[in-house]
Amino acid sequence: MIRAGIIGGAGYTAGELLRLLVNHPQVEIAFVHSTSNAGNRLAEVHTGLEGDTDLRFCAEYDLRAADVVFLCSAHGQSRVWLAGQRIPEGVKLIDLAQDFRDESEGFVYGLPELNRERIRTAKRVANPGCFATAIQLALLPLAAEGLLRGDVHVTAVTGSTGAGVKPSATTHFSWRTSNLSVYKAFTHQHLLEIGRNLRLLEPAFDSRINFVPMRGDFARGILASLYTDCPLGEEELRKLYADYYASAPFTHLAEGAVDLKRVVNTNKALLSVGTHDGLAHVVSVIDNLLKGASGQAVQNMNLMFGLDEREGLRLKASAF
């Protein structure tokens, strides 16, 4: 059994991670750290775990009790935590924040569709951002063939859980419901990791990624709609995407249009592709808390420990 520890166990990503790990056939949970909830039962905070575990949050922990530690604290806190730790030999780290997505401190960027073989041998993995996952999966096949030859235009909408568990003016129900808004237009922090990885595949790519993120009036999921210049016809484009993702267990080219209900509550990414007057149009849908966060973290753990990527992640979409 893989012994898993969690640092920063009270947020949405930690809650989803726990939901997956308590049902993972190869994992036992060694500890779940939360300073603010120390002593409380996990199910008092993550109420969906009632009946699944009697574990309690802890303030103190011993890293030697774990084989893998997931870092689920706020952005910026993972680097602070690591600086104050002596990591025992053999303990692997998976960071769900943005601190090490630049691959500093020995971390490997954890997008399996890009770095599967590197993840298999990694001791430290930096989980990608949620928007970054959806957008990169829509663009990797084009970049791999050197076909990103102009600006990329992206509009993407995310559910309220993408903003984290702490309430704010733009996440509470009375503001969010029946509402839609733009934020961080052209400046979103995930552009850094997207641009860096696309240039790894296509070094000559020097065009803009014009990204307009939006807040949706739903809890979870991301739909990203992208278009860019492309010389391929639709049949060639579909073959390119089908071939690129042929061995990917969670990323699939759909036959027709895609929508959020086909992926919410799963670790899937579904893509639809089409061409229009010299443009490639790609739509990508994921669950921001699973393929965009905790599900992908478990997928990375599976790879790091030599398990089937799908272990603990055979989830059913909430279709209705």
Cβ atoms of 52 and 65 within 8 Å: the answer is: no
Task: List residues with catalytic annotation.
Answer: 130
Report the alpha-carbon distance of residue 302 to residue 319 in Å, rounded: 27
- Which residue carries 């599967």 as its tokens? 116
Nearest to 46 by CA among 66, 62, 29: 29
Contacts of 129 (CB under 8 A, 6+ apart): 98, 101, 189, 190, 193, 292
> Is residue 81 within a helix (H) or strand (E), and if so which, with residue range?
helix 77-83
Contacts of 240 (CB under 8 A, 6+ apart): 141, 142, 145, 232
Contacts of 246 (CB under 8 A, 6+ apart): none
Residue 268 falls in which region: left (phi positive, over 0), alpha (psi -120 to 50) or beta: beta
> Is residue 195 within a helix (H) or strand (E), and if so which, with residue range?
helix 191-201
> Is residue 93 within a helix (H) or strand (E), and if so which, with residue range?
strand 92-95
